[in-house]
A = this chain, B = another copy of it.
Amino acid sequence: MSFFSGMISTVFERRYRGAVDADARSTPELAHDLLGNHGEVSGGTLARLILDRYAKMDRARKLAFFEFMTNGLNISAEAVTQTLQAYQDAPSKESYRNFATACEPRRQELTRRLNQVSGATARLVAMRKDLLDFLPDHPELGPLDVDIRHLFASWFNRGFLVLRPINWTSPAEILEKIIAYEAVHAIDSWRDLRRRVQPADRRCFGFFHPAMPTEPLIFVEVALTKGVPTSVQALLADGRDAIEAEVADTAVFYSISNCQSGLAGISFGNSLIKQVAADLARDLPALKTFVTLSPIPGLNKWLKTAALPAAPAGQEAALAAHYLLEAKRADGMPLDPVARFHLGNGATVHAVHAGADTSENGMAQSGGAMVNYLYDLSQITHNHEKFVSDKTVIASATVRTLSGRITKRS
């Protein structure tokens, strides 16, 4: 197919090049062609030409292309002001359309038109990854990122995402991406991967976008257990005996990984956890408890700076609880980013465990401590309200008691 569709597109491209010498035109000129009359008939050809050119650009040329999009396809303040005034003076469909058109920089339409060829969406997502890499040193590109992120938020709307199970019957081309993208507890090998997706008591689900069918956007790994687990090494132990899914009472979300840097800032995690919880609850009626087994990435860093009394041995869990409940940012939100995510989703701090992640990374970030956040479907709206309005961190009595053992010095 790719061969023949390539042939066809070559025909079109030759025609286009016949009519207009594409090679002699700069990428901005091609972009203007795509935005103009040519775009209606030769849009696919032009979009492919521009994307292919982009793929071959070095960093300097990419920067130039982004600067063209930022400055060359920006709004005109004058046009905004004029059309706004005209709309104010005589509100109508026409005057409003003029205003709306003036407000939206042409770079948005360019991005939409680039998207018309097969495979373009993934290439545009990759393009934004490049853009994000430039941003720290080139803050002037910020407005371009605002527009692309806005467009992506519309394209990757929850209603367009597809939840798919990922397991040992999944295509290898998808599974190798799970290995590559796993961000929390690294997957060493295909054998390790199989332990995560094949046993009867393991599940993995990802969100996919129909235009990028082999690219997970985000995925979550789930263990089905009896009781709430207290150690990720035990959970993932090689050679453990799997249980039947039907007898499990607890679903443990032990790893959630975003896959696409180019979609940074567009949040899928909240929806994913709730959808997976709902689907599991439907299929496995014995499941009563939905928890995470989560890292506490900011604990050790905070401990170094916190004015705490020397903790006696055995106080690791208490310190972790204290950190989760008391350590705050300037805006009053929890210091720990994972805590902010789950509490923002309406979860609560359910239990804290010392020695729960004895990997090098686990020891380095939190001395091995981990936390269960509890998703009680009947409480998450209420919890979320409290968290958002009052910044209240809801925790179990056990965790509160643990935390209370730690007293600030002075």
Binding site for B on A (CB under 8 A): 1, 3-5, 7-9, 11-12, 14-16, 18-19, 37-38, 40-44, 77, 80-81, 84, 87-88, 91-94, 96-97, 100, 103-104, 112, 115-118, 120-121, 135, 139-140, 142-143, 145-147, 150-151, 153-155, 157-160, 162, 168-173, 175-176, 190, 194, 210-211, 214, 244-246, 270-271, 274, 278, 281-282, 344-346, 377-382, 384-385, 388-389
Contact = CB atoms under 8 A, between A and B. Distances in A.
Contact of A172 (B94, B169, B389): B169
A272 to B, nearest CB: 12
Nearest to A43: B158
B157 A116 contact: yes
A121 B159 contact: yes
B37 A112 contact: no
A162 to B, nearest CB: 8
Contacts of A18: 378, 381-382
Nearest to A267: B40
Contacts of A135: 93
Nearest to A193: B172
A37 B145 contact: no
A156 to B, nearest CB: 11
B147 A100 contact: yes
Contacts of A92: 139, 142
Contact of A157 (B84, B115, B274): B115
A115 to B, nearest CB: 4
A93 B278 contact: no
Given A41-B380, A121-B160, 5 more contacts: A43-B158, A44-B158, A118-B159, A168-B173, A169-B171
Contact of A8 (B37, B169, B281, B385): B281
B172 A194 contact: yes
Contacts of A379: 15
Contacts of A158: 43-44, 115-116
Report the copy number of this chain in the oligomer. 4
Contacts of A274: 44
Given A84-B77, A145-B93, A3 B159 contact: no
A117 B160 CA distance: 9
A41 B175 CA distance: 30
Contacts of A4: 282
A196 B44 CA distance: 30
A40 B273 CA distance: 13
Contacts of A388: 37, 40
Nearest to A103: B103
Given A100-B150, A120-B159, A159-B117, A80 B84 contact: yes
A21 B16 CA distance: 54
6 contacts: A7-B282, A11-B378, A42-B381, A44-B271, A168-B173, A172-B172
Contacts of A87: 77
Contacts of A210: 160, 162, 210-211
A41 B345 contact: yes
A214 B204 CA distance: 21
Contacts of A97: 142-143, 146
Contacts of A142: 92-94, 96-97
B5 A282 contact: yes
Given A40-B344, A142-B96, A169 B160 contact: no
Contacts of A271: 44, 116
